[in-house]
Structure 1
């Protein structure tokens, strides 16, 4: 069976991988800077952005520390990562990726279930 993904607080209909970038851009335009996607196999994919960079985290289950996309050797920090509960986080830039890269990564995970071969990520397990 092929894994399907939905936006957790949106429609229960599966999200086609081709629609991922536009769906996330639409949510950002509405002020939803945190988006959780859940898969039919119980995995979760978090996307949190400050509109310039994004934290992208893939979790295998509820208690999994997961793995996240990175930009190695990048210095500095960025703030403005607003969670749905109102908390505003700041992350090292090396632990986030530029927004267009984040959209590409999320689209690829939804399409294939894995990070792209040219993507960079670290395991937090």
Structure 2
């Protein structure tokens, strides 16, 4: 079973309909931290701030992980509020489309924690 946590609060995602509702809720929010996790397995995090979003994939707890990579020539940082209130900056080059992020979450959910291969993942 995939666990979903939106800004620190668990969200029902046992079924495809529940996942669709959870992603619709997230889509209505201009900024958030969303985690999808397999207990004792991989996790996928999406951070969003307005039009900027990126993903981090952890293969297992404690893994250094991979991050999404968009336009590698895009300069500057985007700032994201984590669920604990901390604000962190990450390179705009890591940002990809919001719909691509949601597609990766859906794929992760439907495929037991697998990562979507057509996203450019970097260590």
With normalisation by structure 2, the TM-score equals: 0.76
Residue 95 of structure 2 corresponds to residue 89 of structure 1: no
1:75-111 per-residue CA deviation (whole Å, 9 max, x = no partner) reads 1234231101111222212112121111112211222
Any conservation in 1 of the 2:58–2:66 contact (CA below 8 Å)? Answer: yes
Change (3 A) 1:65 1:105: same
Tell me the residue number matched to 2:52: 53
* SS of 1:62 mapped into structure 2: coil
Tell me the residue number matched to 1:5: 2
Change (3 A) 1:93 1:31: closer
* SS of 2:10 mapped into structure 1: coil
Any conservation in 2 of the 1:20–1:106 contact (CA below 8 Å)? Answer: no
Pairs aligned (count) = 119
With normalisation by structure 1, the TM-score equals: 0.75
Which segments of 5 or more consecutive residues in structure 2 lack a partner in the other structure?
none
Q: State the Cα distance separating 1:22 from its structure 2 match.
A: 4.4
Change (3 A) 1:73 1:18: farther
Residue 83 of structure 2 corresponds to residue 80 of structure 1: no
Distance 2:93 2:121 in 1: 10
Which segments of 5 or more consecutive residues in structure 1 lack a partner in the other structure?
none
Q: State the Cα distance separating 1:31 from its structure 2 match.
A: 6.4
Any conservation in 1 of the 2:34–2:46 contact (CA below 8 Å)? Answer: yes
Change (3 A) 1:20 1:76: farther
